[in-house]
Amino acid sequence: MRQHVNPLSHFFQLPLSLPSNSILFKNSHDPIHIDIGSAKGEFLIELASKYPNWNFLGLEIREPLVSSSERKRKQLGLLNLKFLYCNVNISLDEWLSDLDLNQLKRVSIQFPDPWFKRKHLKRRVLTKSLLNSIARSISKDGELFIQSDISKLIEYMTNIIDESIYFDRKILKGLKWLEKNPYEVTTDRELFVLKQNLPIYRAMYIRNSALFIN
């Protein structure tokens, strides 16, 4: 399977109308955690099994990964979890705008594709526009968690979030990066990096009380 798809190609610019929250989950009023770039889905499958009173939504631009994640989810009978195929930069904003106030509690973006070349920076998933969509919909005190093994990429992401008036960085023990994944469930990429004993840069941001201004 190809490792990266170009999210800016015409094909991925078509907006997809994602099914509404009310039909995705059995208990559609439970708090929601969205994982952006859910890949093979293992992270959310484990969380959804551990926390039945939360709803988990994995969003992924590579359709075959969504199909296989959904297959695993169905085999396990998890009704508080769903994987959807979309380009989050195109389709997430509308889905978020339909949510009940205070329902979205967590968003994670873990080991996003790095797109190293300068001319490819625009393909990176975290943009000001995506961040604003999240800021508009996530509840006060909601969590935005990011992690990566690539220092230049995480600096790029933290710069975008630090510039936003809607999020405050959570600093623990005076350290710039969190020592551990706060959800205590590792993603595939995280496990791979941990096994190689390489550094992982993690940051948690909390939605503050600033009113969202369009």
Binding site for ligand SAM (CB under 6 A): 7, 37, 39, 59-62, 65, 87-89, 110-113, 125, 187-190
The gap from C-alpha 60 to its chain's centroid, in whole angstroms, comes to: 9
* Active-site residue (options: 30, 113, 168, 188): 113
* Radius of gyration (C-alpha) of the chain in whole angstroms: 16
Minimum distance from residue 106 beta carbon to ligand SAM (Å): 14
Q: Which is nearer to ligand SAM, 160 or 168 (CB)?
A: 160
Q: Which is nearer to ligand SAM, 143 or 190 (CB)?
A: 190
Q: Is 162 a catalytic residue?
A: no
Q: Which is nearer to ligand SAM, 21 or 87 (CB)?
A: 87
Buried b (16+ CB within 10 A) or exposed e, 79-110: ebbbbbbbbbbbbbbebbeebeeebbbbbbbb
Minimum distance from residue 108 beta carbon to ligand SAM (Å): 8
Minimum distance from residue 209 beta carbon to ligand SAM (Å): 29
Catalytic residue positions, numbered: 113
